[in-house]
Amino acid sequence: MSNRSALHHVVIVGGGAGGLELATSLGNSIGRKQKARITLIDACLTHVWKPLLHEVAAGSMDSSSNEVNYRVHAKRHGFEFQLGRMQGLDRETKQVIVEPLLDDTGTIVVEARSIKYDTLVIAVGSTANDFGTPGAAENCIFLDSLEQARKFHRHLLNSYLKAEYDAEKKQKHSLDIAIIGAGATGVELAAELHLASQELPVYGLSHLKEKDVHISVIEAADRILPALPEHLSNAATRELKQLNINVMSGQRVTNISETDIEFADGERLSATIKVWAAGIKAPEFLTQLDGLETNRINQLVVRQDLQTTYDKNIFAFGDCASCPQPGQDRPVPPRAQAAHQQASTLAKSIKLRLNNKQALPYVYQDRGSLISFSRYTAVGNLMGNLTGKNLMVEGRIARLFYISLYRMHQVALHGVFRTSLIWLSDKINKALHPRLKLH
């Protein structure tokens, strides 16, 4: 058996959908065979697919049953896991600098440390971009992480409980929820929150009626889902209005207070709960990584083969990277399907690097877009440039396709057999537990 310290060391920073899929693929193919050493670094102990965070926030999904434990997964799939948050980089000595680990009291558990690499892959994802809007950071809830989604859920339940008791006492008791940003996350969250307004009265919060809960979706562009085709935007608007959700397009937010949202035209909207779901940016620490090139939203600039522009030993992909598309002015869009495709391409490229061969160029393949309206319905267009035509789908068929996206991610991580067992377990849990998480 080869000495592990002599093996080519691939370090992947970020255990999101793309990073974990890449670590799993490389661990299964070359890690187990001792052809390379694979290490994944993440600041959390568990992984939840980010497109599901809005369901965790609304209580439609119990995250504990959908979490992947990094240590267990690493053991099963031939790679190593290091708990920590990247804070710096030394390109000359090829070392990733990891922040110290602290416990809940702020006491250092593990000192800051350095991890050497031969090939480094950065896949740290993105966070919401509040564009410096006054009051946004202080008065809005963000949904960038599992902990934030759980925090939102607790806040939502407490707000319902307060409004319920106010209603029982015949006091003012409306619950006003405003979602700023009508991209996929904002639109899907609105539908999940509408479901919550229907389900909670079933479990005892009966004084607060569905009509007392007001949900608004706010978008600065002239239509919701501005990054997607107009026919999808129109279909989504129709579905939201059928759910009595207030759609406010063409409204630029200029200030957010504890109780109100102010718009550029001077109008105001009262809101008990305010969620910021508009725009993305990469983590700011990327701009300080030993001279690597970044753009205005902190993304690492990469070539088409996903190598960073200034260092052939460092790759980046997913939302944290700006990757060019051949013949187009815009880079690859920050979407889950892009990260999945890039992980697949990069797995091949890293194997080629072990044999001193060139990395493969990545070409984005648009497979279409799907938007879920909770358990009600879904809309989308499929195939994209696979056929050169867009196939519009709605209703149950679209909903099935939407669910299949998550199952494909699970197959990439666990394989077909284990994913089938997870699917069966999910069915059993749905039959045994309430439709809404109540704690």
Amino acid identity, position 291: G
The strand ranges marked E within 297-375 are 300-301, 307-308, 311-316, 321-322, 368-373
- Of 427, 415, 377, 338, the C-alpha closest to 51 is 338
Report pLDDT for 71.
Answer: 97
Amino acid identity, position 412: A
Q: Is 301 left (phi over 0), alpha (psi -120 to 50) or beta?
A: beta
Q: Which residues are within 8 A (CB) of 49 and not within 5 positions of it... i.e. 6 or more apart?
A: 17, 66, 336, 406, 409
Domains of the chain: 4-126+282-354 (3.50.50.60), 136-278 (3.50.50.60)
CA separation for the pair 99, 108 (Å, rounded) = 10
Per-residue confidence in pLDDT tens, the chain, 439 aa: 446 778 999 999 999 999 999 999 999 999 999 999 999 999 999 999 999 999 999 998 888 888 999 999 999 999 999 999 999 999 999 999 999 998 888 899 999 999 999 999 999 999 999 999 999 999 999 999 999 999 999 999 999 889 888 888 888 778 999 999 999 999 999 999 999 888 888 777 777 788 889 999 999 999 999 988 898 999 999 999 999 999 999 999 999 999 999 999 999 999 999 999 999 999 999 999 999 999 999 999 999 999 999 999 999 999 999 999 988 889 999 999 999 999 999 999 999 999 999 999 999 998 888 899 988 888 988 865 444 566 778 888 888 888 898 999 999 999 999 999 999 988 888 777 777 777 7
Phi, psi of 175 (to 5 degrees): -115, 115
SS3 of 134-181: CCHHHHCEECCCHHHHHHHHHHHHHHHHHHHHHHHCCCCCCEEEEEEC
Q: Structure pTM?
A: 0.92
Report pLDDT for 396.
Answer: 80
